């Protein structure tokens, strides 16, 4: 339950009706609900401090939680941001997955080292885990985006800028939203990010090779905008762009003729011209990240650092605060840190938080890791949580005759079909059972049901007040259908089982890497093993003569399921202190306290101080802590 609600202030631009245009143009269903949400305010939850990396004098934050709740926290703390970049879901209809690599077992590291070469990427054993589905009903997506953009605006300074990164699926609709929220006069550019792609012909359209960034600046005077030049890579690139054939003078210098006014033409020497550079316009040719890129962190939606560097340089100055509320791979925070800006990274996915945390740690950044305790951080990501929830509700089955609003139905011998509502964790507006949601259930969802329906079940993870909701139901006499409320947390209690590890500690007097060594003897992760079993079953069914079945097999020790280890030598409980840490990359090499090495993991982690706690992260991202 939220501690309190924080007002969405400032309001949309005065004189513009909230979603009024959408209600007429798109026959928008969610306008009334959004209005009620805005009147209620942003839910503020308890914030738990997980870890502090370095002294963090600038107050940099890495927050696990949803955008609206994060903004409620920032506003309650009086924190204003100077620049926002967000790369939210595109309503593309696609599913995004993380490729999970099995690590090398340190028990056979010596044999592998004799080969003195890395395995090819195709030879690495891996399976995919779905992280989130970008599948939206258009109206729900726009309601969700409206609430998020209003929350973001509430924590922007008076001279702040915002860049919203989308593509052709939904960008035109969001442009109208942003005109309404930020004001048409604040619109500065729609920037085209053009990138290379497959060189192929399409039957019915041109190849889609660009995304769009909508750029709005709240400052009319452009105080925080920095126009800048970028150098040409070479004289040949300059010539190609100018489409002029170069001339050569008596000294062998190349030049082109340029108009100087009054019909005169002057020589423009190429060696001088490329130093001056070209002013950056609103079409950016920047290639996407490929798997072999040095900055790649194996994150499916990762954006190149040069893209964010350009945005941060253009719309902020050193010391300013840059925020990304759909932070993904952490590129915004990483680029901001390197450019001397303060940063806030926010994302609901645990994989995003871990990837960003490790990335920033390797860069030498200082920051706090926080988690919003809103009751929905049950698993690594919303997709996995939703799948688990649906499998745990007794008797729940799909029912094709029901609208998609209902997750399915339970069959009762006395009452017949009982529709079941389960909150969609991908939609922040539905995770909290409040009067707005209950009003929608009573006046929109239930009237659409068959007249034979006598009862519905409404599950919730969080609720404003059960007494308030039951009173609202009792006072509304528009339906005779019984509404039963159920708490999902009761279903999930005891389901999340931690990983198991067997280890021992050794004290060494001659070890260059530390006086103490914690050696992991065995490791078991039921959840990862279940994923591997599912992968093997699917691979077996899809096997062919040309592509025979090759199961992923795990050794008795299970150490190849470990991705990361950390020792806390400071405190035996409370906030985590990573006094020593190692990460094993997909090729089996060790990253020691952020430094990449060419050493294989030997099954231990060392520290100078005496270890009090051990943290192990498995290859899917689950973390478990043991006292030593």
Asked if 6 contacts 148 with a C-beta cutoff of 8 angstroms, the reply is: no
- What tokens were used for 236? 């040949």
Which of 423, 567, 563, 446 has its CA nearest to residue 506? Answer: 567
Q: Is the pLDDT of residue 134 over 70?
A: no
- Give the number of C-alpha atoms closer than 13 A to the C-alpha of residue 431, restricted to the C-beta side: 24
pLDDT tens digits for range 536-581: 998 899 889 888 888 898 999 999 999 999 999 999 999 999 999 9
> What is the bridge-based pairing of β-strands 321-324 and 210-217?
unpaired
Which of 385, 425, 429, 451 has its CA nearest to residue 622? Answer: 385
Cα–Cα distances (Å) from 393 to 19, 386, 402, 409, 411, in that order, read 36, 11, 18, 10, 13
The stretch 96-116 carries a mean pLDDT of 68
CB count within 10 Å of CB 155 equals: 26
SS (H, E, C) 207-257: CCCEEEEEEEECCCCCCCCCCCEECCCCHHHHHHHHCCCCEECCCCCEEEE
Which of 316, 308, 376 has its CA nearest to residue 340? Answer: 316
How many angstroms separate the first and last alpha carbons of the chain? 35
Q: Is the pLDDT of residue 149 over 90?
A: yes
Rg (CA), the chain: 28
The stretch 361-365 carries a mean pLDDT of 95
What sign does the dihedral 13-18-20-26 (CA atoms) show? positive
**Between helices 331-338 and 305-315, what is the axis angle to 10°?**
60
Extended beta strands in 136-195, E state: 156-166, 187-194
Q: What pLDDT is stored for residue 547 in this prediction? A: 86
- What tokens were used for 10? 């400032």
Bridge partners of residue 420, in order along the sequence: 408, 457
Q: What CA–CA distance (Å, rounded) separates 517 from 515? A: 7
- What tokens were used for 492? 């999930």
- What tokens were used for 594? 């952020």
Q: Is the pLDDT of residue 182 over 90?
A: yes
Q: What CA–CA distance (Å, rounded) separates 59 from 74? A: 12
- CA dihedral (243, 249, 252, 253) in degrees, to 10, reads -50
Cα–Cα distances (Å) from 201 to 211, 288, 430, in that order, read 20, 21, 42
pLDDT tens digits for range 400-421: 889 888 999 999 989 999 999 9
DSSP state at residue 417 = E
Q: Quick one: pLDDT band at residue 93, thresholds 50, 70, 90?
A: low
- What tokens were used for 626? 């043991």
Q: Quick one: pLDDT band at residue 426, thresholds 50, 70, 90?
A: low
Asked if 369 contacts 50 with a C-beta cutoff of 8 angstroms, the reply is: yes
Domains, the chain, with CATH or none: 4-94+134-199+207-225+282-372 (3.40.50.150), 101-111+119-124+496-627 (no CATH), 229-279 (no CATH), 382-492 (3.40.1340)
Asked if 612 contacts 627 with a C-beta cutoff of 8 angstroms, the reply is: yes
- Could you tell me which residue, 421 or 488, shows the higher pLDDT? 421
Q: Is the pLDDT of residue 54 over 90?
A: yes
Least confident segment among 263-267, 285-289, 293-297, 448-452: 263-267
Which of 255, 311, 347, 298 has its CA nearest to residue 63? Answer: 347
- CA dihedral (358, 107, 294, 312) in degrees, to 10, reads 0
Q: What CA–CA distance (Å, rounded) separates 567 from 584? A: 15
Query: What residues contact 521, with CB distance under 8 A and at least 6 apart?
Result: 502, 503, 504, 557, 603
Asked if 548 contacts 506 with a C-beta cutoff of 8 angstroms, the reply is: no
- Could you tell me which residue, 58 or 110, shows the higher pLDDT? 58
CB count within 10 Å of CB 556 equals: 9
Q: Is the pLDDT of residue 25 over 50?
A: no
Strand, coil or helix: 544: coil
């Amino acid at each position: 339950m939220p501690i309190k609600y924080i007002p969405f202030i400032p309001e949309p631009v005065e004189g513009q009706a909230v979603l009024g245009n959408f209600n007429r143009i798109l026959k928008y269903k969610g306008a009334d609900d959004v209005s009620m949400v805005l009147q209620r305010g942003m839910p503020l939850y308890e914030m738990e401090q997980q870890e502090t990396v370095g002294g963090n004098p600038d107050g940099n934050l890495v927050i696990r939680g949803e955008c609206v709740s994060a903004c409620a926290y920032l506003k309650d703390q009086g924190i204003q941001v100077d620049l926002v970049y967000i790369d939210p879901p595109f309503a593309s209809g696609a599913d995004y997955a993380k490729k999970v690599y099995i690590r090398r077992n340190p028990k056979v590291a010596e044999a592998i080292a004799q080969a003195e070469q890395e395995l090819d990427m195709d030879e690495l054993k891996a399976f995919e885990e779905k992280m989130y589905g970008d599948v939206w009903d258009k109206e729900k997506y726009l309601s969700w985006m409206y609430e998020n953009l209003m929350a973001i605006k509430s924590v922007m300074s008076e001279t702040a800028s915002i860049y919203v990164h989308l593509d052709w699926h939904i960008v035109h609709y969001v442009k109208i939203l942003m005109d309404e929220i930020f004001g048409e006069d604040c619109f500065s550019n729609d920037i085209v990010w053009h990138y290379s792609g497959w060189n192929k012909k399409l039957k019915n359209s041109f190849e889609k090779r660009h995304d769009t960034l909508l750029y709005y600046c709240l400052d009319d005077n452009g105080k925080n905008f920095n126009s800048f030049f970028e150098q040409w890579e070479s004289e040949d690139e300059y010539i190609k762009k100018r489409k002029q054939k170069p001339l050569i003078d008596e000294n062998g210098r190349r030049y082109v003729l340029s108009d100087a006014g009054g019909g005169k033409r002057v020589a423009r020497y190429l060696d001088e011209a490329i130093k001056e550079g070209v002013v950056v316009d609103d079409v950016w040719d920047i290639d996407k990240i490929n798997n072999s890129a040095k900055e790649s962190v194996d994150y499916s939606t990762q954006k190149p650092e040069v893209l964010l560097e350009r945005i941060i340089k253009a719309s902020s100055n050193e010391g300013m605060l840059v925020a990304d509320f759909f932070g993904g791979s952490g590129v915004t925070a990483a680029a901001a840190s390197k450019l001397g800006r303060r940063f806030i990274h926010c994302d609901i996915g645990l994989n995003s938080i871990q990837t960003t945390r490790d990335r920033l740690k390797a860069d030498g950044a200082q920051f706090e890791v926080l988690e919003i305790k809103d009751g929905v951080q049950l698993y690594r990501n919303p997709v996995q949580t939703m799948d688990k929830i649906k499998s745990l509700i007794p008797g729940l089955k799909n029912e094709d005759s029901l609208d998609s609003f209902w997750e399915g139905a339970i069959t009762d011998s006395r009452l017949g079909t009982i529709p079941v509502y389960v909150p969609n964790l991908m939609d922040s507006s539905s995770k909290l059972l409040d009067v707005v949601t209950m009003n929608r259930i009573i006046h929109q969802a239930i009237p659409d049901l068959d007249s034979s329906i006598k009862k519905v079940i409404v599950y919730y993870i969080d609720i404003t007040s059960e007494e308030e909701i039951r009173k609202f139901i009792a006072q509304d006499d528009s339906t005779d259908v019984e509404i039963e409320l159920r708490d999902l947390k009761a279903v999930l209690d005891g389901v999340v089982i931690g990983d198991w590890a067997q280890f021992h500690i050794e004290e060494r007097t001659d070890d260059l890497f530390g006086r103490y060594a914690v050696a992991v003897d065995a490791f078991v992760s039921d959840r990862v093993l279940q994923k591997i079993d599912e992968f093997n079953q699917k691979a077996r069914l899809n096997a062919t003569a040309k592509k025979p079945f090759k199961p992923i097999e795990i050794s008795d020790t299970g150490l190849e399921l470990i991705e990361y280890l950390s020792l806390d030598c400071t405190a035996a409980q409370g906030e985590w202190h990573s006094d020593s840490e190692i990460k094993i990359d997909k090729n089996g090499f060790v990253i020691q306290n952020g430094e990449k090495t060419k050493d294989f993991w030997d099954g231990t982690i060392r520290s100078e101080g005496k270890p009090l706690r051990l943290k192990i992260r498995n290859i899917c991202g689950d973390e478990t802590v043991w006292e030593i």
